[in-house]
A = this chain, B = another copy of it.
């Protein structure tokens, strides 16, 4: 038997799984079929409220819609956050449906000319990733007769310790190395652009609050040095995110209150060059990841050479990360449950495999679950971020799953 991650507290309980007041079968009836994703809106709202309460005043909250671009979810979150962060023209269309261009910023190392022009025209802030991109943005703005909103994305010397994905502290395709970022800001100011400040993102998916506290302190110090160099207070300093969620055995939710307390203290002793600046924290996964549940029905139950398998009608084509094939080296088990299990069902060791005809399609490897049979429903948790949109949905020609914003 292998361990699995912890089921989010909101979904724990003795009886069948309840999501926003309904059972799995009730949600399946709403959707019309399995598999499907259900996102519990109340959990997202609660995350935002908890973050607001923890963070000092003057800290904006941004949602990075790459984590989950489901339009009803974006619409529900937009009034609750200060900004939306996007990574393509496709995401820009989604964001502009929910927020004005002035509340949207666009990061990404390979922005095409047509994307740059569309963003400039819509008043979206471009987080410039290179000197070359700055030139292209200025040319596009000139042609359009628009003052472009330009921030400088910085590749910091800072590394977020223990983060699932490091984005700083090394040679990187993201942003401009910190020793050149001040000069680029001066250039865009001199060119007449509306300079929006700095975007500094050191990593993501960290679970150690102390690592985030240290990184935020170093990020503020770096922003202060850069602002000194530019000689202008940056309108906004995007401190990045990095707040992780506990996917795997032994992992714990991060203590955002501790992070907020440390940041509050740090804000009382800002360098002069940052006084009057606004600050933003940009989060994707932490806001929405735990709120999503992927529901998939057991099609077959089989035994092979002494092992039991539950074959479900979903799979890695919808939940690639749960199968251990996206950005993870060692395959570990996401939390899963038999959504339809009764309280005293016997427990067994079983693997949950998807319907795809590939050995990669394993959603849970030899976990301990209540005994399930064809017709039962399996819940895969932690499915709210980097789920459907980050999976190869067309692989093997299955239908797209339904998505429901619940509550």
Q: Mark A162-183, 1 if CB is under 8 A from B, else 0.
A: 0001110011111001000000
B171/A89 in contact, CB under 8 A: no
Q: Which residues of B contact A177 (CB under 8 A)?
A: 304-305
- The answer for the CA separation of A177 and B305 in the assembled complex, in Å, is 7
Other-chain residue from B86, B306, B327 in contact with A171 (beta carbon distance below 8 A): B306
Min distance, Cβ A365 to any Cβ of chain B, angstroms: 11
In the complex, whether A399 has a CB less than 8 A from a CB of chain B is yes
- The answer for the CA separation of A112 and B313 in the assembled complex, in Å, is 7
Other-chain residue from B90, B302, B356 in contact with A399 (beta carbon distance below 8 A): B90
In the complex, whether A132 has a CB less than 8 A from a CB of chain B is yes
Q: Knowing A66-B396, A132-B374 touch, does A302 contact B173 (C-beta < 8 A)?
A: yes
A170/B358 in contact, CB under 8 A: no
- The answer for the CA separation of A170 and B86 in the assembled complex, in Å, is 45
In the complex, whether A353 has a CB less than 8 A from a CB of chain B is yes
B107/A357 in contact, CB under 8 A: yes
Min distance, Cβ A318 to any Cβ of chain B, angstroms: 10
Q: Which residues of B contact A165 (CB under 8 A)?
A: 358-360
Q: Mark A12-25, 1 if CB is under 8 A from B, else 0.
A: 00000000000000
B173/A351 in contact, CB under 8 A: yes
B393/A394 in contact, CB under 8 A: yes
A307/B171 in contact, CB under 8 A: yes
Min distance, Cβ A2 to any Cβ of chain B, angstroms: 14
In the complex, whether A111 has a CB less than 8 A from a CB of chain B is yes
* Residues 290 to 349 of chain A near chain B (Cβ within 8 Å): 299-302, 304-307, 309, 311-313, 315, 320, 325-327, 329
* Residues 7 to 47 of chain A near chain B (Cβ within 8 Å): none
Question: Of all chain B residues, which has the CB nearest A362?
Answer: B173
In the complex, whether A110 has a CB less than 8 A from a CB of chain B is yes
In the complex, whether A407 has a CB less than 8 A from a CB of chain B is no
Q: Which residues of B contact A300 (CB under 8 A)?
A: 109-110, 129-130, 132-133
Min distance, Cβ A200 to any Cβ of chain B, angstroms: 14
In the complex, whether A51 has a CB less than 8 A from a CB of chain B is no
- The answer for the CA separation of A165 and B388 in the assembled complex, in Å, is 24
In the complex, whether A147 has a CB less than 8 A from a CB of chain B is no
Other-chain residue from B90, B91, B396 in contact with A91 (beta carbon distance below 8 A): B396
- The answer for the CA separation of A397 and B352 in the assembled complex, in Å, is 30
In the complex, whether A87 has a CB less than 8 A from a CB of chain B is yes
* Residues 102 to 149 of chain A near chain B (Cβ within 8 Å): 107-112, 129-133
In the complex, whether A50 has a CB less than 8 A from a CB of chain B is no
Other-chain residue from B90, B351, B357 in contact with A108 (beta carbon distance below 8 A): B357
In the complex, whether A96 has a CB less than 8 A from a CB of chain B is no
Other-chain residue from B129, B166, B397 in contact with A94 (beta carbon distance below 8 A): B397
In the complex, whether A390 has a CB less than 8 A from a CB of chain B is yes
- The answer for the CA separation of A407 and B320 in the assembled complex, in Å, is 35
Q: Which residues of B contact A394 (CB under 8 A)?
A: 69, 388-389, 393
Q: Which residues of B contact A91 (CB under 8 A)?
A: 396-397
Q: Mark A366-407, 1 if CB is under 8 A from B, else 0.
A: 000000001000000000000011111111111100000000
A binding-site residues for B, Cβ under 8 Å: 66, 69, 86-91, 93-94, 107-112, 129-133, 155, 165-167, 170-174, 177, 299-302, 304-307, 309, 311-313, 315, 320, 325-327, 329, 351, 353-360, 374, 388-399
- The 9 A-B pairs with the shortest beta carbon distances in the complex, nearest first, are A110-B355, A90-B397, A171-B307, A91-B397, A171-B305, A88-B397, A87-B357, A173-B353, A108-B357
